[in-house]
Every structure is written in structure tokens, then in C-alpha cells.
A and B are shown apart, each in its own frame.
Chain A
Amino acid sequence: MTQLALVIDLNVCVGCHACVTSCKEWNTSGVAGFLSDDRPYDRDPTGTFFNRVQTFEVGEYPDAQTVHFPKSCLHCEDPPCVPVCPTGASYKRAEDGIVLVDYDKCIGCKYCAWACPYGVREVDEHQKVMKKCTLCVDRIYDPALPEAERKPACVMACPTSARLYGDIHDPESVVSKAIREQGGYALMPEWGTQPANHYLPRRRTEMRIHKDELERADNPLKIDGLLPKPALKEPALDDVTSW
């Protein structure tokens, strides 16, 4: 069985919102219709988005870190939003595990949004149906696109490669390896929703410099590594001698 998912590396995300705008651009232009905005250039703008980047401050100044936190549908393996839907408009695809909304069946009762602890479903105020991340289901299987581009728009847009995409049920996939080897975790595990999307934690980043990175291996004139010799008259630290 396949479970497509995103793995988001919080250690790498710089909070640039490129995934948000790319997601909005792709999904407002698709066959499923636009993602409506109201008063986009006016006071109190609002609109429907599948993806948001939030920012949290962890710790207290000066021992604080800024964590940028992209949030979209987690495509839970046991999605609480699906069984509550009275029409069957909200469903989880058996073949790849994507949780989708059939916009032609949705009656806009908002019950699925109540039943999602993550707040990733948003009603489109103009189409009056519930909308959510589709994992760019209209991109990832499109044979007209080059194979390398058959990825969600947010993954394509991320300038720091903070967003990984793949099948978390395939132990050899890039996402499974990232979860396994870099401490990937799920959000709100207390509700047993088993989110497919995972997050990679912030890590301590240490700079490791080896000698051969400072000196060229061939070092033709043997001058790499030599310290500059100051002139006789130049001041030195102890002001006595520099030779």
C-alpha cells in the first residue's frame, strides 16, 4: 500500500512562504476551480489557502529560536474528518492515501472541519464547499509533466528543500529514510490520527572543518597553509618583535 506524504524539515525552513504562494497559484488555476479571495488588496483581506506558514518563538530571549512551521493537511492514515462526512464527499484514496474532498458532493456543513484537530480544512466562501490540500493530485500523476516535476507545487517551490515528498510506506523512499534517520515526528500524536506528513526537528548545527578543506590537496607552490609574514616594521601583538 502506498501512503504519499510530505516531510517538512523545520531545521531548514526559513519561513519564506514560497510554498504558500506556489500552492495557491497552482490550486487556484486548476480544473477544480479557483480558491477564492475576498478584498485581496483592501482592508481585512481573507481567502482560502491549503497551506500556511506560521512562526513560533521557542524559548525566551536571548535563548530563543524562531521556528517557521508550514501547516497543511497531514493526510492522516486514520483521518477523523472522513467518517464524519455525511455525504461521502470527504474520502481517503485507497491507492495512495491522499485525503480529498469531492467538491461536487460537499454540502458545506463544516462538520469535517470540526472533526479535524489540525485546522487544515477551509471553507471556500464563494463555492461554499470545504477545501483542503490535495497533495497536488492533479500534478503528481500528470504524464504531460516531466517526471522530475511530478511533485506537489509546494515541494517544487521550496528554495531550501525543506519539503520532501514520497511514499512513507516504502522503507527505501527519501521520506521514510528522513523520518527514520532524522527523528521525524507526527503532530498531536495523542489523538491517534496517525498523520502521514511528518516533521523533522530542529537540530544543533555544528561546523566541521577538515584540514584538507583549508589547504588544496596538491598545493603546487606549497604556499597554502603558510601564514603571511609581516614586514619588519609592522606592529605586532607584543609590540616588540614580529620575527
Chain B
Amino acid sequence: MNPAFSVIFLTTLIGVGQGLFLALYAAELGSAFELVPPQDSRSFFALGAALALGFLAAGLAASFFHLGRPERAWRAAARWRTSWLSREVIVLPAFMAAVLCYGAAHYLGLPATLMTGAVASVLCLALFVCTGMIYACIKFLQEWATPLTVVNYLLLGCASGFAFATPMAAATGNGLVVPLAAGAVMLSLAAWATRAAALARNRRIKPKSTVQTAIGIKHPRIAQKAQGFMCGSFNTREFFHGRGGQAMSLVKWGFIVLAFPAPVALIAAGTALASVPLLSAAFITQYLGLIAERWYFFAQANHPQNLYYQAIS
């Protein structure tokens, strides 16, 4: 597939927003059970919810650049019974509304923030499932058709959200830096493990479709001689990224380093030194890594339609 930056920014930005909200809610739950010190409603929870909302809105805005007809985007809520994309289109605004309520309740000092947060958390997890299933449900994109896709969206989003919450807690000067940093490190390590598992799985994939099944001729040697046109078409632009193996390998190792060990080291150093710049650098590093990760996720998927577009003439 040819990676679309609109979708890369959509999925990574809403991942940060979702993870940030879950970090906030985890902090509130923790203080309710007296595991972590309680925080100020306005300067921590309301600010955090506003920032999470900002990430989600930025992701939503990015998604519109993917559409040919963005003015009709409202129609995308119609087929929630069958389409994971439609479900995401419903759940994302619902989650944003819940985060808004959660932040507003904290800002205005209203009760029942825990209940609001619980509803928002359910929507948050549902959104991770919807986003992951959009890719995992296409069975012939074999690189994506695995539960690991959903797990990776969940863990990568949560890790980046906790990585954002850590410098935020440090900047507002509260006592959550260590627990949030621990969460960010553990989630990053877990995401590292599952993403590596997905990479290992994809390395061994045997394509179910071959040029033999594509044109239905059972001969071991089939070579395309013409694809019906001399220059490009939608099929050659949308499904081929056109990068060589070296660039792919560079992006792969880039994201493996930037998204996992580098931020973990920076978070550890930043927590030990209580340094906001180091913790912020950890988030920025991880976010850049996640952009590369998402680019690789799309580029690695080998669409069976490519079997029909192997040679120009």
C-alpha cells in the first residue's frame, strides 16, 4: 500500500489523545483508591482533557484530508452494522464528547467525574478496537489480518499517551511523574514486544494469492507483459509505495529505535533528573517513531491486486 499521511496522522494523533485520556483516568482511579496522590481538578485533569481533546480533534481534522468528498463525511455514520470505518466515525466523536464532559466536569467541579471517565474509557477502548479492526478485518491484506493489529494500535496509542502525560505532570509539578513514567515505560515495552511479534509474523507470511490464482492459469512460469496502460493509474498509485528495500529497512529500524528503546531511556533519564525537557523529548521521539511505524505498517501491506500490476510492457 502507498501510505497516506492523512491516515498516518489520524491514527497516531488519536492514539496519543486516547492514551492521554486513559493516563488521566488511571491517575484519578489511582487517587480514588489512594494509590497515588490526588491531583488538582483544574490544573491537571481539565488541562489534560483539553489537550487530549486537542489531539483527537487534530486527528479528526487530518482524516478529512483522506476523503475525496469531505463535505459528505457525515454520511459515513450510516453503515455501522457492517463497516468498522463507520463504527469509528461514530465512536470518535462520541469519545470526544465524553472527554469534553469529563474535562468540563473537572473544570466546573461537578461530581461524578469517575462515572463520566468510566463511560469515556469504554468509548476509548471501543475506538482502539474500531481503528485496529478497520485494517485487521481485510482478510486478504495478510500483514494486517491478525489480532496483533488491534493490540498494537491499543498499546502504541496508550504508550504515546502516557509518554505525553509524564512531562505534563512534571511541568504542572505534581507527584504523578513516577507512576506515569512507569506506565509509559511498561506500555512502551509491551508495545515493543507485540509490534516485534507482528513483524516476526509478517516476515513469514506466505501470500495466499499468486499470479496463478489471479488469472486462473496453473502454470509455474507466468510473466506479465502488459498491464493495459503505459503510465500510471489509480491501481499503481494507491497500492505501490515505490520505495526500495533499503528505504524500507531504514524506516523499520528507525521506528524500532525511535518508538521503543529511545523514549524508554529518555523517560528513565528524565524521571531520574526530574527534567521536563528530557521527558518532552521522550514523547517527541516516540511520536516521530510512531509516524515511521505507521508508514511502515501501510507500506508493508502487500495488496493482492498488485499481482495484476507487475510489469508495464
A52 touches B221 (CB 8 A): no
A107 touches B215 (CB 8 A): no
Instruction: Verify if B224 is at the interface (C-beta below 8 Å from A).
Output: yes
Instruction: Verify if A115 is at the interface (C-beta below 8 Å from B).
Output: yes
B68 touches A46 (CB 8 A): no
B305 (CB) vs chain A CBs: closest residue? A119
B79 touches A87 (CB 8 A): yes
Instruction: Verify if B222 is at the interface (C-beta below 8 Å from A).
Output: yes
A201 touches B213 (CB 8 A): no
Q: With a CB–CB cut-off of 8 A, which chain A residues contact B66?
A: 109-110
Also in contact, A44 and B232, with CB within 8 A (given A105-B75, A199-B216): yes
A54 touches B224 (CB 8 A): yes
Interface residues of B in 1-58 (CB under 8 A from A): 1
Instruction: Verify if B73 is at the interface (C-beta below 8 Å from A).
Output: yes
Q: With a CB–CB cut-off of 8 A, which chain A residues contact B221?
A: 58-60
B228 touches A52 (CB 8 A): yes
- Interface-side segment among A166-174, A184-192, A210-218, A226-234: A184-192
A84 touches B84 (CB 8 A): yes
- Residue in A108, A128, A188 whose CB lies within 8 Å of B214: A188
A-B pairs with beta carbons under 8 A, tally: 173
Instruction: Verify if B233 is at the interface (C-beta below 8 Å from A).
Output: yes
A56 touches B217 (CB 8 A): yes
Instruction: Verify if B227 is at the interface (C-beta below 8 Å from A).
Output: yes
B69 touches A52 (CB 8 A): no
- Residue in A53, A105, A118, A191 whose CB lies within 8 Å of B139: A191
Q: Indicate the member of A54, A69, A80 with the most B CB atoms within 10 Å.
A: A54
Cα–Cα, bound, A108→B64 (Å): 10
B313 (CB) vs chain A CBs: closest residue? A55
Instruction: Verify if A159 is at the interface (C-beta below 8 Å from B).
Output: no
Cα–Cα, bound, A192→B102 (Å): 45
Interface residues of B in 263-313 (CB under 8 A from A): 303-306, 308-309
What is the distance, in angstroms, from A99's C-beta to the closest C-beta of chain B? Answer: 14
Instruction: Verify if B61 is at the interface (C-beta below 8 Å from A).
Output: no
CB-CB contacts of A51-93 with B at 8 A, as 1s and 0s? Answer: 0111111111000001101010000000010111111110000
B76 touches A87 (CB 8 A): yes
Cα–Cα, bound, A69→B211 (Å): 12
Cα–Cα, bound, A86→B138 (Å): 14
B213 touches A190 (CB 8 A): yes
Interface residues of A in 98-116 (CB under 8 A from B): 105-111, 113-116
Instruction: Verify if B259 is at the interface (C-beta below 8 Å from A).
Output: no
A86 touches B223 (CB 8 A): no
B226 touches A55 (CB 8 A): yes
What is the distance, in angstroms, from A223's C-beta to the closest C-beta of chain B? Answer: 48
What is the distance, in angstroms, from B85's C-beta to the closest C-beta of chain A? Answer: 4
What is the distance, in angstroms, from A210's C-beta to the closest C-beta of chain B? Answer: 32
Instruction: Verify if A178 is at the interface (C-beta below 8 Å from B).
Output: no
Q: With a CB–CB cut-off of 8 A, which chain B residues contact A84?
A: 82-85, 137-138
What is the distance, in angstroms, from A110's C-beta to the closest C-beta of chain B? Answer: 7
Instruction: Verify if B208 is at the interface (C-beta below 8 Å from A).
Output: yes
- Residue in B82, B223, B232 whose CB lies within 8 Å of A83: B82
Also in contact, A107 and B69, with CB within 8 A (given A86-B85, A86-B89, A87-B79): yes
Instruction: Verify if B249 is at the interface (C-beta below 8 Å from A).
Output: no
B234 touches A48 (CB 8 A): yes
B138 touches A87 (CB 8 A): no
- Residue in A109, A117, A202 whose CB lies within 8 Å of B304: A117
Chain A residues engaging chain B, CB cutoff 8 angstroms: 17, 20, 44-49, 52-60, 66-67, 69, 71, 80, 82-89, 105-111, 113-119, 121-123, 125, 127-129, 185-191, 199, 201-202
6 A-B residue pairs with CB within 8 Å: A45-B231, A69-B215, A108-B68, A109-B68, A111-B134, A123-B238
Q: A46-B231, A49-B228, A83-B83 are in contact. List 6 more A-B contacts (CB 8 A).
A: A56-B225, A85-B83, A121-B234, A122-B235, A123-B68, A188-B213
- Nearest first, the 3 A-B pairs at minimum CB distance are A108-B68, A119-B305, A128-B68
